[in-house]
Every structure is written in structure tokens, then in C-alpha cells.
């Protein structure tokens, strides 16, 4: 594993350099001088690899959440004729994730390429010095007057000196990806998750130790007894999932929550609520046997009968998929 490769990276080059020093300490010194370059390079690239892996793991989590959310609301999407639009959104997000993956691979190839470059350069320098010594073209201390078997031994051991560095670099990528995945799943195995309170023991209105499906854990929060609360966050962070959990439309994986007020029911109104095409009156009635007076009263109470942005009153047209309605108008019709 990575720990064994790290120990071997510290021990292997020393043993190899010691074996080379038996033949030529100058050749061993030349190999050792390449080590600081490797260490500096690992320090520079290692942080970049770790950050890229963490960002990519987070992007994968968001993509999975968004996909699961679309699958869960697929009937609503189909009813609202929104399948092409949602497909295009997922395509863009999937392409962004693929681009991020290529970025991680680019860093990995850069790491391997630079490592191989310095290793090949060091071996080539040794080969040139040994060749000049055997041809009698230069008197380089430690490289001249060596027997052929001694030069061959140096050239055979030189690649082995850099082998632990290569192995460590390969496993470092796997380690960074594993750590990012473990961090994303830490809440599953934490002691805090094992001791989360059951529903009904939250002392005040709010949530404690809440874990959402597909979105992970949520920071504890309190809710005011009255007023408006805005839930903000990036796309795929779990805002809609949190609201569905608070409305008891969906169950949390763990944790507890309590809404303000004495046993007040919660209502979940989605912006993607399907609205049939036709007229405003038909959309409000939604297939029920409501009387025209009841429909008119409902429209008036919601400010739809005289909405300046949607003229026509109860006869105002509703296009397929409610594409001519704003988000707020859809919510009011759904209510």
C-alpha cells in the first residue's frame, strides 16, 4: 500500500546508492543529488493532486444528487414537458465532471512525466560519464578506469534507485482519491452518526444531526417561530431534499427535526408541480368538482384573477408545461 511505498521510498534509494558507492562513490553521489529534486516536486504536485481529487469527489456527489433528484421527480418532469431541458442540464453537468476528471488525469500524467524525465536525465548523465571514461576521452573522477562490469552494475542499479519514487507517485494518486472518498463518507462511520438522537427529542424548532438522502449531513440549525427562512446553496447541495424532509415528504437517514408551532402540518409545494394546459380556472380546479364560485374565490385570494403579468382572469391561457407561467405563479396555482 501507500505506507509501504513511502517506507520503501526512504529505504530503497539509500540501499541502492550504498551498493553503487561500493563501485564508485561519485556515481552514488550523482544519484543522491537527484533526490532533492524529487522531494520538491512531490511537495509541489502532491497538494495539487489532493485538492483536485477532493474537488472531483465533491463534484461526483453533486452529480449523483442531481441525477437522483431528477429520477425521483421524473413523473413531474414528464408532466411539465421538461425532459429535454433537464436532459440538457444533466449533459452539461456530466461534461463538466468529465472535464474535471481529465484535469486530474493531466496532473497524474504531469507527475509521471516529470519524474521519468529527471530519472532518465540522471541515468543518461551516468551513461555519458561512464562512456567517456571507457573511451578515454575524459578523466572524470569516479567514472574513469572502471572495469566494464562495474560500469554495467552502475547502469543496472541506477533505474532501481528511482523505482521507489515511481511506485510512490502511482500510489499517491490512489491515496488522494481514497482520502477524498473517505472524507465524503465520514459521517456514515463517525461516532456522531451512531449516537444521533431519534426524532422527537429536538428541544427547539430546528434540526439536530440531520442526514439527508443523497446529500449527506446537514449542519444543526434552529427555526424561528414566525417569519421567513431562506435555504441557500449551490445546485445539488440538497436544498429541495431538506425541504422535502422537513415537510415529511421524504424521511431522513438519521437525525431529528421539529417544526415551529404546536403540531402544525407542513406543506410541500414544488416549483415543478405539474399544471395541466388549458385555462387558469381549469388549472386551479385541477380535475376536481369545485364550483366556479369556489375557483374564483381561490384565484382572488391568491391574487391570480387580477395579476397584471397574466391578464385574462380565469380565462387566461395556460400553455403546455405551464411555460408561460413564472415560478411564483406556478406555486400559487399549485397551492
pLDDT tens digits, 76-94: 777 777 788 888 888 888 8
Same domain, 62 and 211: no
Q: Which three cell numbers stand for residue 206?
A: 430546528
Residue 43 belongs to a domain: yes
Residue 265 belongs to a domain: no
| 6 SS3 class | helix
pLDDT: which is higher, 314 or 331: 314
Same domain, 244 and 284: no
Q: Kindly report, residue by residue over 126-158, the tens digit of the pLDDT.
A: 888 888 888 888 788 878 888 888 888 888 888
- Total number of domains constituting the chain: 3
CB atoms within 10 A of CB 14: 14
What is the share, in percent, of the chain residues with pLDDT greater than 70? 75
Confidence of residue 197 (pLDDT cuts 50, 70, 90): very low
Q: What is the mean pLDDT of residues 44-70?
A: 76
Which is it for the CA torsion 176, 182, 185, 190, positive or negative? negative
From 226, 258, 290, give the residue that closes a domain: 258
Residue 311 belongs to a domain: yes
Same domain, 12 and 139: yes
Same domain, 168 and 100: yes
Confidence of residue 319 (pLDDT cuts 50, 70, 90): confident
Question: What's residue 252's pLDDT?
Answer: 82
Question: Do 260 and 204 contact (CB within 8 A), yes or no?
Answer: no
* Residue 201 scores a pLDDT above 60: no
From 258, 287, 309, give the residue that closes a domain: 258
What is the share, in percent, of the chain residues with pLDDT greater than 90? 0
**Helices 239-246 and 35-72, axial angle in degrees (round to 10):** 50
From 208, 226, 258, give the residue that closes a domain: 258
Same domain, 202 and 286: no
Please state which of the ranges 116-125, 133-142, 165-174 shows the lowest mean pLDDT: 165-174
pLDDT: which is higher, 334 or 75: 75
Task: State phi, psi for 194 to the nearest 5 degrees.
Answer: -75, -20
pLDDT: which is higher, 236 or 51: 51
Q: What's the CA gap between 161 and 37, in Å, rounded? A: 14
Query: Domain range for residue 223?
Result: 196-258
Q: What's the CA gap between 294 and 299, in Å, rounded? A: 9
Same domain, 254 and 291: no
Confidence of residue 187 (pLDDT cuts 50, 70, 90): low
Residue 302 belongs to a domain: yes
* Residue 69 scores a pLDDT above 70: yes
* Residue 321 scores a pLDDT above 70: no
- Give the residue from 152, 211, 161, 150 showing the smallest Cα distance to 186: 211
Residue 273 belongs to a domain: no
Same domain, 119 and 171: yes
Question: What's residue 194's pLDDT?
Answer: 46
Same domain, 24 and 151: yes
Question: What's residue 199's pLDDT?
Answer: 42
Give residues with Cβ within 8 angstroms of 319, minimum separation 6: 277
Task: Tell me whether residue 241 is exposed, middle or buried, using C-beta atoms within 10 angstroms of its C-beta: 0 to 12, 13 to 18, 19 or more.
Answer: buried
Same domain, 68 and 160: yes
Question: What's residue 66's pLDDT?
Answer: 76
Q: What is the mean pLDDT of residues 255-274?
A: 69
Same domain, 65 and 138: yes
Residue 272 belongs to a domain: no
Same domain, 250 and 282: no
In angstroms, the Cα distances linking 207 to 178, 200, 236, 249, 268 are: 30, 10, 20, 16, 18
Q: What's the CA gap between 185 and 114, in Å, rounded? A: 33
Question: What's residue 186's pLDDT?
Answer: 64
* Residue 117 scores a pLDDT above 50: yes
Per-residue burial over 132-162, b = 16 or more CB atoms within 10 Å of its CB, e = otherwise: ebeeeeeeeebbbebeeebbebbeebbeebb
Same domain, 40 and 82: yes
Q: What is the mean pLDDT of residues 210-217?
A: 77
Residue 141 belongs to a domain: yes
Residue 266 belongs to a domain: no
Q: What is the mean pLDDT of residues 229-254?
A: 77
Amino acid at each position: 500500500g501507500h505506507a509501504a511505498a513511502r517506507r520503501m521510498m526512504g529505504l530503497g534509494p539509500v540501499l541502492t546508492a550504498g551498493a553503487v558507492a561500493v563501485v564508485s562513490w561519485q556515481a552514488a553521489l550523482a544519484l543522491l543529488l537527484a533526490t532533492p529534486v524529487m522531494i520538491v516536486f512531490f511537495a509541489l504536485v502532491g497538494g495539487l493532486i489532493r485538492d483536485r481529487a477532493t474537488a472531483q469527489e465533491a463534484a461526483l456527489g453533486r452529480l449523483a444528487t442531481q441525477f437522483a433528484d431528477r429520477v425521483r421527480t421524473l413523473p413531474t418532469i414528464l408532466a411539465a414537458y421538461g425532459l429535454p431541458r433537464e436532459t440538457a442540464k444533466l449533459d452539461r453537468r456530466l461534461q463538466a465532471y468529465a472535464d474535471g476528471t481529465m484535469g486530474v488525469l493531466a496532473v497524474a500524467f504531469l507527475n509521471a512525466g516529470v519524474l521519468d524525465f529527471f530519472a532518465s536525465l540522471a541515468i543518461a548523465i551516468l551513461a555519458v560519464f561512464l562512456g567517456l571514461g571507457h573511451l578515454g576521452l575524459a578523466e572524470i573522477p569516479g567514472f574513469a578506469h572502471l572495469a566494464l562490469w562495474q560500469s554495467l552494475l552502475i547502469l543496472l542499479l541506477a533505474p532501481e534507485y528511482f523505482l521507489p519514487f515511481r511506485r510512490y507517485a502511482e500510489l499517491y494518486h490512489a491515496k488522494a482519491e481514497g482520502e477524498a472518498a473517505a472524507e465524503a463518507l465520514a459521517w456514515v462511520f463517525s461516532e456522531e452518526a451512531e449516537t444521533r438522537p431519534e426524532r422527537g427529542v429536538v428541544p427547539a424548532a430546528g434540526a439536530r444531526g440531520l442526514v439527508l438522502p443523497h446529500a449527506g449531513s446537514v449542519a444543526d440549525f434552529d427555526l424561528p417561530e414566525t417569519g421567513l427562512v431562506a435555504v441557500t446553496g449551490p445546485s445539488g447541495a440538497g436544498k429541495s431534499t431538506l425541504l422535502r424532509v422537513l415537510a415529511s415528504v421524504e424521511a431522513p437517514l438519521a437525525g431529528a427535526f421539529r417544526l415551529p408551532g404546536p403540531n402544525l402540518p407542513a406543506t410541500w409545494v414544488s416549483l415543478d408541480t405539474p399544471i395541466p394546459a388549458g385555462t387558469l380556472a381549469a388549472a386551479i380546479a385541477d380535475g376536481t368538482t369545485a364550483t366556479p364560485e369556489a375557483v374564483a374565490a381561490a384565484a382572488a385570494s391568491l391574487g391570480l384573477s387580477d395579476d397584471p403579468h397574466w391578464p385574462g382572469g380565469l380565462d387566461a391561457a395556460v400553455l403546455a408545461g405551464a411555460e408561460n407561467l413564472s415560478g411564483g405563479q406556478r406555486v400559487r396555482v399549485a397551492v
